[in-house]
């Protein structure tokens, strides 16, 4: 035992972790949640395919279809290529495909594959994919290519090439710039997966992938994939986007939605079902996205849970509970549309959906079939699921309450240790009947946490202090699961920061928060504002991102409201107050022995601040000061990023004053 402790201590030192014992909190602090800042991932604005999920081929399964978007089909994102005037026919087929979840594939019938004229070795009949607004590759890095193929007749050779197309000159196509290629021998008469590694010799932001059959005859292809080997912790997520999330230091991740939980909105047949998103990629069932495009499910439940583990976050999966989304079929319940519901005699299927997920995440592979599937996917150890969300901002009707109660009671009976998160409907404002009905149901059930949502203009976050009036004796805590000011200027971010100071002060009532939406791709944005914008090359971090980062970095277990005063305030005033555009918080993390002082000024005048940290007896000699400041209307966008935090080391003092500049937020971090 002594040896184990010694090894653990050495490991902690080698990783730069604190090996100190947790400290005792000084008097005067209020116990608060140390999981206040998390993230909410929903596949909106191409956040998954073409975004966080690192797959570079679009529609590699050929399952796009017109029900997802007008004009779409199996050939979307593909085109026929026939260098050297090769001849052939491309045919969409759906009989005898890979499996029922992935029925569509392409048959390439090659009639002539030889060079018809000098084209410097380019020949063959095939198809080309341009990825998501181009395939971005880096010279010298390795990319894993895979494809399922089925041959007919004589053996064939298939050339797979990464190249950069060139502008056509007159009637003669200009030779493309070859980046990398490989030739695969295909002999099997049944579906078989073929793999290769492509290493481009130069960097390209607009590459394409060609698959060229070099012999005559028929060949079927499906599940085309090109993945960089260099992904976040080797688990298939785009490294720069994942790192941007890691830098927020979130404590949990809610997924997969949002409205995505309810599927494409065409009925319960296309509801998001977690079981069809696990297992081998070729066996997963793609789905129409609520936001008007296709979800390949390459980023499925296994990847979500793996990402949470990689980042040290708690997973918070959200499951549907037998009631349609309030926005289903293009309508809104508040306008009188009927709510679609699952008949009560079919609700056991949805109960099983929840219980099976818990067993998949936490069960023993030796005794549970779902846990065995997790182990077969490469994760024999449990994921240690703690939270489970049921429902996403449905209208809190009698039908919803009946179905929610049915699932809730059965899940709690089977797994009482799981913390269930309910929903307060689509608009969590005082006087909203859904909020009132949601809280009534929460009180009746003794629900641990209820999920509130609201998107508002900045004035709401500047002037409202919603949680000051919440009862302290309620068993149910608040999860503010979706919120944002409705613009992305610095003043909006500061309004959100001021509101989060209010949330910290009410951290005994509010247990968790997550800004929404999280991601948006430059060329396919469904919603504004978003926390992180991106293109194929890099993320673009908003002002709100840096405010979230400050709060994520300053998690703690105790809040002190009387260490900071603003000059001119009445004695004993605890900021932030309703209608006052400046505020503060002091948070202590007893586990890491860190103290955080956060100050926010969302007004146009400088504020003088007095800080007294005398109760904290063992402050180290220096502190880290992080400042976010600028003009109220400054905005980070694709052309410019004027707002970013400035860090400096300052001398630590237990009593001091400072001038807090207009439109600024400051965080002081101390070690104890």
Phi, psi (rounded to 5 degrees) for 381: -75, 150
Give me the pLDDT at residue 9, please.
39
User: Residue 552, Cβ neighbours under 10 Å: how many?
Assistant: 19
Over residues 641-665, mean pLDDT? 97
Question: Could you read off the pLDDT of 197-240 as tens digits, one per residue?
Answer: 999 999 999 999 999 999 999 999 999 999 999 999 999 999 99
pLDDT of residue 337: 54
Cα–Cα distance for residue pair 278/372, rounded to 1 Å? 12
pLDDT at 117: 52
Residue 327: its pLDDT value, please? 65
Task: Give the pLDDT confidence of 519-570 residue by residue, as tens digits.
Answer: 999 999 999 999 999 999 999 999 999 999 999 999 999 999 999 999 988 7
**3-class secondary structure for 303-317?**
HHHHHHHHHCCEEEE
Instruction: Report the pLDDT value the prediction gives residue 592, as an integer from 0 to 100.
Output: 97
Among 237, 288, 294, 270, which Cα is nearest to 77's? 294
Which has the higher per-residue pLDDT, 312 or 324? 312
Is the pLDDT confidence value at 382 over 90? yes
Mean pLDDT of the chain: 92
Residue 601 contacts residue 584 (beta carbons within 8 Å)? no
* Cα–Cα distance for residue pair 173/165, rounded to 1 Å: 10
C-alpha to C-alpha distance for 211 and 152, rounded to whole angstroms: 17
CB 561 within 8 A of CB 505: yes
Is residue 114 predicted with pLDDT exceeding 50? yes
Domain 78-228: give its CATH superfamily.
Galactose-binding domain-like (2.60.120.260)
Helix (DSSP H) and strand (DSSP E) numbers for the chain = 10, 34
pLDDT at 173: 58
Distances (CA, A) of 51 to 152, 238, 487: 36, 7, 22
Pairing of strands 622-629, 664-671: antiparallel
Whether 267 has a pLDDT exceeding 80, the answer reads: no
Q: pLDDT at residue 268 above 90?
A: no
- Are 596 and 34 within 8 A, CB to CB? no
User: So what's the pLDDT on residue 169?
Assistant: 59
Does the pLDDT at position 439 exceed 90?
yes
Domain boundaries, the chain: 38-54+232-344+386-555, 78-228, 563-671
**For the sheet containing 664-671, what is the strand order?**
30-31, 558-560, 582-589, 594-601, 664-671, 622-629, 646-651
User: Rounded to whole angstroms, how far apart are CA atoms 52 and 48?
Assistant: 5
Q: Provide the whole-model pTM.
A: 0.94
How far is it, in rounded angstroms, from Cα 420 to Cα 400? Answer: 16
More confident position, 356 or 331: 356
| Domain 563-671: which CATH number of 3.40.50.970, 2.40.50.100, 2.60.40.1180, 3.40.50.300 | 2.60.40.1180
As a whole number, mean pLDDT of residues 382-399 equals: 96
Please give the Cα distance from 563 to 572 (Å, whole number): 10
The predicted structure's pLDDT at residue 426: 87
The C-alpha atoms of residue 627 and residue 612 are separated, in whole angstroms, by 20
Give the pLDDT score at 332: 46
For a pLDDT cut of 70, what percent of the chain falls above it?
93
Per-residue DSSP letter, 258:
S
* Residues 652 and 606 sit within 8 Å (Cβ to Cβ): no
CB 272 within 8 A of CB 319: no
Rg (the chain; Cα; Å):
28
Q: What is the mean pLDDT of residues 648-661?
A: 97
The residue among 292, 317, 356 whose CA lies nearest residue 41 is: 317
Q: What is the mean pLDDT of residues 340-366?
A: 97
Please pick, among 63, 68, 359, 393, the residue that the annotation labels catalytic: 393
pLDDT in tens, 359-379: 999 999 999 999 999 999 999
With 0-12 / 13-18 / 19 or more C-beta atoms within 10 angstroms meaning exposed / middle / buried, residue 273 is middle
Highest mean pLDDT among 7-11, 125-129, 267-271: 125-129
Cα–chain-centroid distance for residue 473? 33
Q: Is 42 annotated in the active site? A: no
- Report the CATH fold assignment for 38-54+232-344+386-555: TIM Barrel (3.20.20)
Q: Which of 259, 320, 315, 319 is nearest to 288 (CA)?
A: 259
Give the pLDDT of residue 381.
98
72-82 pLDDT per residue, tens: 999 999 999 99
Decide if pLDDT at 41 tops 50.
Answer: yes
What's the pLDDT at 166? 74
The rounded distance, in Å, linking the Cα atoms of 658 and 660 is 6
């Amino acid at each position: 035992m002594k040896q184990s402790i010694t090894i653990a201590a050495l490991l902690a030192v080698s990783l730069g972790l604190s090996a100190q014992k947790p400290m005792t909190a000084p008097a005067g602090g209020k116990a608060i949640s140390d999981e206040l800042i998390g993230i909410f991932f929903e596949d909106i604005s191409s956040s998954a395919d073409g975004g966080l999920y690192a797959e570079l081929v679009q529609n590699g399964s050929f399952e796009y279809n017109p029900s997802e978007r007008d004009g779409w089909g199996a050939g979307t994102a593909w085109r026929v290529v026939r260098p050297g005037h090769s001849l052939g026919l491309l045919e969409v087929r759906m009989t005898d495909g890979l499996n029922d979840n992935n029925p569509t594939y392409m048959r390439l019938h090659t009639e002539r594959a030889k060079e018809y004229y000098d084209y410097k070795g380019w020949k063959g009949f095939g198809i080309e994919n341009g990825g998501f607004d181009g395939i971005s590759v880096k010279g010298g890095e390795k990319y894993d290519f895979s494809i399922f193929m089925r041959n007919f007749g004589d053996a064939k050779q298939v050339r797979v090439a990464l190249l950069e197309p060139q502008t056509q000159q007159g009637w003669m196509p200009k030779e493309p710039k070859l980046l990398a290629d490989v030739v695969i021998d295909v002999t099997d008469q049944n579906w078989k997966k073929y793999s290769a590694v492509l290493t481009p010799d130069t960097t390209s932001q607009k590459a394409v992938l060609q698959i060229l059959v070099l012999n005559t005859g028929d060949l079927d292809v499906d599940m085309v994939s090109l993945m960089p080997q260099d992904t976040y912790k080797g688990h298939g997520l785009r490294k720069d986007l994942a790192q941007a999330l890691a830098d927020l230091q979130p404590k949990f991740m809610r997924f997969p939605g949002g409205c995505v939980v309810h599927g494409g909105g065409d009925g319960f047949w296309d509801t998001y079902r977690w079981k069809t998103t696990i297992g081998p990629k070729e066996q997963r069932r793609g789905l129409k996205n609520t936001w008007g495009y296709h979800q390949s499910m390459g980023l499925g439940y296994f990847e979500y849970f793996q990402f949470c583990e990689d980042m040290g976050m708690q997973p918070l999966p959200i499951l549907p509970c037998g009631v349609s989304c309030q926005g289903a079929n293009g309508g809104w319940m508040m306008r009188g549309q009927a709510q679609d519901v699952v008949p009560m005699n079919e609700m056991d299927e949805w109960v099983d959906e929840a219980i099976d997920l818990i067993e998949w995440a936490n069960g023993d592979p030796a005794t549970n079939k779902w846990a065995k599937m997790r182990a077969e996917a490469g994760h024999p150890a449990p994921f240690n699921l703690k939270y489970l969300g049921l429902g996403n901002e449905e209208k809190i009707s009698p039908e919803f309450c009946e179905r929610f109660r049915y699932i809730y009671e059965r899940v709690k009976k089977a797994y009482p240790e799981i913390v269930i998160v309910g929903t307060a409907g689509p608009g969590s404002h005082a006087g909203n009947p859904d909020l009132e009905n949601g809280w009534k149901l929460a009180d009746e059930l003794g629900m641990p946490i209820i999920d509130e949502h609201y998107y508002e203009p900045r004035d709401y976050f500047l002037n409202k202090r919603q949680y000051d009036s919440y009862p302290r004796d309620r068993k149910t805590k608040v999860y503010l699961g979706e919120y944002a000011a409705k613009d992305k200027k610095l003043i909006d971010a500061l309004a959100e920061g001021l509101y989060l100071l209010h949330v910290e002060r009410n951290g005994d009532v509010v247990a968790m928060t997550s800004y929404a939406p999280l991601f948006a791709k430059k060329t396919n944005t469904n919603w504004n504002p978003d926390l992180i914008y991106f293109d194929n090359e890099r993320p673009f971090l908003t002002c709100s991102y840096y405010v979230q980062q400050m709060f994520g970095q300053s998690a703690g277990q105790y809040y002190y409201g009387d260490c900071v005063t603003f000059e001119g305030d009445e004695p004993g005033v605890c900021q932030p107050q309703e209608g006052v555009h400046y505020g503060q918080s002091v948070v202590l993390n007893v586990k890491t022995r860190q103290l955080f002082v956060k100050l926010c000024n969302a007004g146009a005048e400088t504020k003088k601040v007095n800080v007294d940290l005398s109760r904290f007896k063992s402050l180290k000699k220096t502190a880290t000061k992080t400042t976010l400041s600028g003009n109220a209307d400054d905005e980070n966008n694709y052309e410019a990023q004027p707002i970013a935090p400035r860090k400096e080391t300052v001398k630590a003092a237990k009593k001091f004053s400072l001038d807090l500049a207009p439109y600024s937020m400051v965080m002081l971090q101390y070690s104890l």
